[in-house]
Structures are given as C-alpha cells and as structure tokens.
Chains A and B, each alone.
Chain A
Amino acid sequence: MFDYFIGSMLIVLIFSVISLGLNFQWGYTGLFNIGVAGFFAIGAYTAALITIKPALPSQFEDYHFTGNLQNIFDGIPIINTLDLWFFIAFLAAMIISGIIALPIGLITLRLRDDYLAIATLGVGESIRMIFLNERWLGNGSKGLYTIPRVYGDIVSPENYDFIYLGVVVAITILLYISAYRLLHSPWGRTLRAIKNDEVAAASLGKNIVRFKLEAFIIGAMIMGGGGALFVFNLRAISPLTFTPLLGTFLIWAMLIVGGSGKFFGPIIGALVVWTIWSGTQFLPGNLSSPATRFLMIGLLITASIVFNPEGIAGLINKKIAKVSHK
C-alpha cells in the first residue's frame, strides 16, 4: 500500500511538471499545443539514450546508441558519488526539447493561433513514429530498458522509489520556484498582457511573436525535463508511453481541470485527474478497459471548458477571495 502511494506520488509529480510546461504555453500565453507527447518523448528518449548501459548479450538486443554516461564519470571522485550524470541527462533533455520547439514555433507562431495546434499534433505523431520505426535509435516497440538508477550506488534497489521521490520533489519545487520568479518578472507580466489583449500589448511596442516563441520554448523545455524525470522513474520506455492519450490528452485534462493560467493549477489537476484515471481500473467488468479512460478524459476536458473554465484552482481562489472579503 505504501509502495503504491509512493509510486502514485512520483507519477503525479512528474505529470505536474509536464503540465507546468503546458501552463506556460496555454495557461499564460494561450498557445495551443496538442503535441505535448512529442516533447515529452524527446525529453525521455534524450535522457534515456545518453545514460543507458549496453544491453546484456542474453537480452538479444542491440541498441546502437548507448551513452552510458554513468560509466564515463565513474573514475572521477566527487562527480561519481553525486551522480552528476543524472543532472546532465535532465538538462540535455530540456535543451533538445527546446531545440525541437524552435523551428515549429518560428514557422507557426506568426500565423493563425490554431496553426500551432495542428503543427504540434503532427510533431507529436511524427516523433513517436520515428522512435517506433528507427530501431537503431529507439529499439522499436520494445523500447529502451537498461536505464541506470539515480543514486543506485547509495541505496538498495528496494528503496529506489523512495530516494527517487526525494529527487523528484526537489526538482519539482525548484522548477515551480523558477516558474514563479519568471512569471512575476516583467517578462511574465508581458505574457499575461499578450494573452489578455494582443493588440494593446503590440501597441506598447512588445514583440508579440518573440514573447510567444520564448514561452513556447520554455514550456517545451519543461516538458522535456518532465520526460527525463519519467524515464528514471520506470526505468523503461517504449513508444507506447507517448501515445496521444497518455502523453497529450491526459496532460491537457490535468491542466484544464486544475485550472489553466493558475499557478497551482497543474499540481491540483495532476492529483485529481490521476486519482480518477487510476481509479477507473477498479471499476467492475468492461468499465475498467482503457476505452473508459478515453471517454472520461474527453468528457472532463469538454465539461471543464464549458462549465468551469477557471478550473479547480480558480474555484479555490474565489472561495479565498470571498472569505477574505468577509
């Protein structure tokens, strides 16, 4: 039971990081990205590829591409014990995600709003297809699985989830603090001005496309970081993880239900939606099939947009405002 709780906490936190990335794009800037899975996958595969150990001969696998970063650092004394390779993998995941986002943003952000949506949908699918079909890179549908444990030398494998939860909590807090600082800087205020009234912001001399591009890239980078965190949680990835349902729509449901454009929206949404999502497996009979989850996620998104566009965080804010007025 306790293990189950730890495992759920890990997933919720990791998804809340990816939703935070989406909050930058959609919540604060109004950029419609339905290729979240693509950036999630890029981050995950980047982190995995530069850290995986070569497959054992008994596994009949041949990854052509094994970074084995941990091994490279093994000889160096302090870096060795600090497991610096993990942080390098995390940063690399962020950077590669950002690099993929750049051309997409450059092409579509100067056009109609919804072209970005369609383009990102294409990116998400194409990236998954690449990892599925290019066996030399991602080992096809079997995926990659010789991924090392973070601080695996210090703790025993049974306690891995526990120590890794500590790492994820620390990184999540760090990301949220940085996001807070960023959003309350002049840059963040400009983003909100653009979302509220693009024409007015432009008339004040703000370069709208540049701000949007920056928000899009930062969002994509956070998603990539989330992907890296995801990799070292399950320590096995395959293209099946990055289907639109799990990689994109679930994240959207989390953000919309939690409250887009609200600081704690992603984390509340991740908690609520993940509870509902993992709860469906306890439903009787046919209702526990993945189809129920599809239906539920779709209905959650549409119903939230129509009936509660402010999300749960918005409701809480209103309650607080009411109480403090009394």
Chain B
Amino acid sequence: MNNLLSIQSFLRIDYKILIVLIILIFSFIVEPRLFVNGIFLGLILGVGSMGLTLSYGITKFANIAHGDFMTFGAYISYFVLEQFFPSTNGFGPFSFGGSLLLALPISTVIVAIFALISDIGIFSRLRKRNSPGITMAIASLGIAIALRGLIQMIWSSEVRNFPNSPRSHIKLPFEITIAPNHLFIGVTALLLMLSVYILLNKTKLGKAMRATADNADLARVSGIPSELILRLTWILAGGLAGIAGVLLVIFNATLQIKPIMGFNFVVPLFASTILGGVGKPFGALLGSLIVALSMELSTAVLLPTYKSAVAFAIMLLILLVKPRGLTGEKN
C-alpha cells in the first residue's frame, strides 16, 4: 500500500514536470530570443528574490523597500563609475568597463550597511514594541518612498547610463544570440546562488538562520541569538539586493538606470517569492525563472508595459490554488 502511494505520488510529480518541460520546449521553439532573455532576467530576479525570501521568512514581514534597495545599489555603482572611471572602454566582450568589478562589491557593501542601519534605526525598535509584521511593512513602505526620493534628489529622475561601449551579440547555433552581458549576469548569479547554498546548508550560521525562519521561538530557546541572526539576515538581503540592482542595469546593453527601476520590480519579486514559498531561497529561484519567463514571453502577444501585470496575475493564481508556494507542504 505504502509502495503504491509513493509510486502514485511519483507519477503525479512526473506528470507536472512533463507539462512544464513541454511548455518550456514549445516556448523555446516559438520565441527563442524572448526565452533566452527570460532565463537571464529570471536569474537577476532570483538574486533579488533570494534575499527577499530570506528576510521575509526570518523577519516575518514583507519588506517593500527591497526593490528600492536594488535601485540604490545600482545608483551607488553609477556614482562610483561616473566619478572615478568616466571614460572606460568595454571590458572584453562586455559593454561595461572593467571598473564595474570594483563598483559591484562597493554597491553590495553599501546597500548591506543601509539595510543594517534601517534595521537598527527602525525595525528593531518596532520589534521591541512587539509591533505586528504589517506595521513593519508600512515602515518599510516609508523607507522605500524616502529612499527613492533621496535618489531622485541626488541624481534627478532622468534616465541615465553607466559609461558603456557597444558590443555585438555572441552567435550560437539555431540562430540564438546571447548578449555578452547576459553571460556575466549568468555566471555572477550562479556563483551567488552557490554561495548562498553553502552558507545556508553547510555553515552553522546558515543552519541557525534556517532554524529561525522555521520557528523563531524554538530557535531562541535552543540558544540561537535571534537578534544577531536578524541583523545578519538584513546584511545578506541588502547585499543581494544591491548586486541584483547592478545586474539589472547591465541586463540592458545600454546600461540604463532610472529611479523607478527597483520599484517596478517589487511585484515580480514578491510573485517569485510567493511562488517559491516564503523563506525558501531555492524555491524563490524557481519562482523567479517562471515569473521572468512568463513576463518575457508575454511580450510576444501583449504590450511590454503589461509585464508587471503578468507577474501579478501569476501571483494571484498561485495564491488562489497553492498559497504556500510550489515547494510548500500542505497546510
């Protein structure tokens, strides 16, 4: 009986994977360009939503400022590049200069520090007062608006560009072309995901983080210093958001940057987080790929401005049929 059940459940999963595979292959054949774009956008979204899902799972509230953390990271890089390396030729096959390799870690660190400061200054105060998560979410909304205002005050609301030089696409068989920048995004995103995996599964700190995400009270009585874990979560989430912001800029060959870019990403970020199950970084990655692919493929039939509406529709659908996410267990 037991055996039979397991075979049945195996078959059921297999059949779902089959459907997903068929959809993937079909969309790849019909729209290879959008498909490739979707994969790389999904990796960027994945970096962002891994941070979001960790902070959502551990701090127990939806940080609406996460998108604007991304914008902030992008503008820090813009500042570094514009101030110190205004005239750079493209670096190898990439349309950005080699100086980006210096700007990227600076963005990461500064956004991580900013996230830490907002926790110390605002969220930890609210925690001490036992505020419900939703009050903290409103405070994060305030941070999101203020941060965007600050960015607009310093850099104006116009579209700007990182220093760049044009590069041609790499040609692959079957008429597939890949922008060199996308390869950089892919490698960076995969390295980050690998490090997050090692951090969460192979280190004591990561285990403590996962324990806090699962059950904060239980973790505390087991001697895990929850305040410290929360601070570290903010640092990690902020850092990942900062990198994701920079990657989002180089996704576009002309390296455009504008203050609203991160906020426009908030709905897709939450869609992938919920799709993957809150608190599950690798679920979020899966969710990101699904959301980004759907967003890109939708442009074949819909106006591109409806991309975030597509992400929103996916989110509503998943809330309707499987509110705990694709990887979530039954209620």
Contact = CB atoms under 8 A, between A and B. Distances in A.
Interface of A: 30, 32, 34, 104, 107-108, 111, 113-115, 117-119, 121-123, 125-126, 129-130, 132-133, 244-245, 249, 252, 256, 286, 289-303, 305-306, 309
A294 B142 contact: no
A114 B139 contact: no
Given A290-B157, A302-B139, A305-B126, A118 B62 contact: yes
Contacts of B274: 115, 118
Nearest to B310: A126
B319 A30 contact: no
Interface in B98-155: 122, 125-126, 132-135, 137-139, 141-153
B270 interface: yes
Nearest to A123: B312
Interface in B32-88: 61-62, 64
A119 B153 contact: no
Given A126-B309, A252-B138, A302-B146, 20 more contacts: A34-B64, A107-B316, A107-B320, A114-B62, A114-B137, A115-B274, A117-B64, A122-B309, A245-B145, A256-B138, A289-B152, A291-B157, A294-B146, A297-B146, A298-B143, A298-B144, A298-B148, A299-B142, A301-B138, A305-B135
Contact of A117 (B62, B153, B311): B62
Contact of B133 (A114, A125, A293, A305): A114
Interface in B286-320: 303, 305-306, 308-309, 311-312, 315-316, 319-320
A123 B125 CA distance: 31
A245 B303 CA distance: 24
A132 B141 CA distance: 25
A107 B312 CA distance: 13
A295 B138 contact: no
> Which of A104, A111, A286: most chain B Cβ within 10 A?
A111
Interface of B: 61-62, 64, 122, 125-126, 132-135, 137-139, 141-153, 156-157, 263, 266-267, 270, 274, 303, 305-306, 308-309, 311-312, 315-316, 319-320, 323
Nearest to B273: A118
Contacts of A113: 132-134
Contacts of B266: 121
B267 A118 contact: yes
B132 to A, nearest CB: 7
B146 A125 contact: no
Contacts, number: 135
Contacts of B156: 291
Given A298-B143, A298-B147, A292 B64 contact: no
Closest 3 CB pairs of A and B: A298-B146, A294-B149, A295-B149
B205 to A, nearest CB: 26
30 contacts: A34-B141, A104-B316, A108-B319, A114-B62, A114-B134, A114-B137, A119-B316, A121-B266, A122-B309, A125-B308, A126-B309, A126-B312, A129-B305, A129-B308, A249-B145, A252-B141, A286-B153, A289-B152, A291-B150, A291-B151, A293-B149, A294-B152, A295-B150, A297-B146, A299-B142, A302-B139, A302-B146, A305-B135, A306-B126, A309-B135
B312 A298 contact: no
A119 B311 CA distance: 11
A294 B157 CA distance: 12
Given A129-B305, A289-B152, A291-B153, A111 B141 contact: no
> Which of A32, A118, A125, A296: most chain B Cβ within 10 A?
A118
Nearest to B56: A114
A306 B125 contact: yes
A78 B119 CA distance: 62
Contacts of A133: 303, 305-306
B312 A296 contact: no
Contacts of B267: 118, 121-122, 125
A202 to B, nearest CB: 17
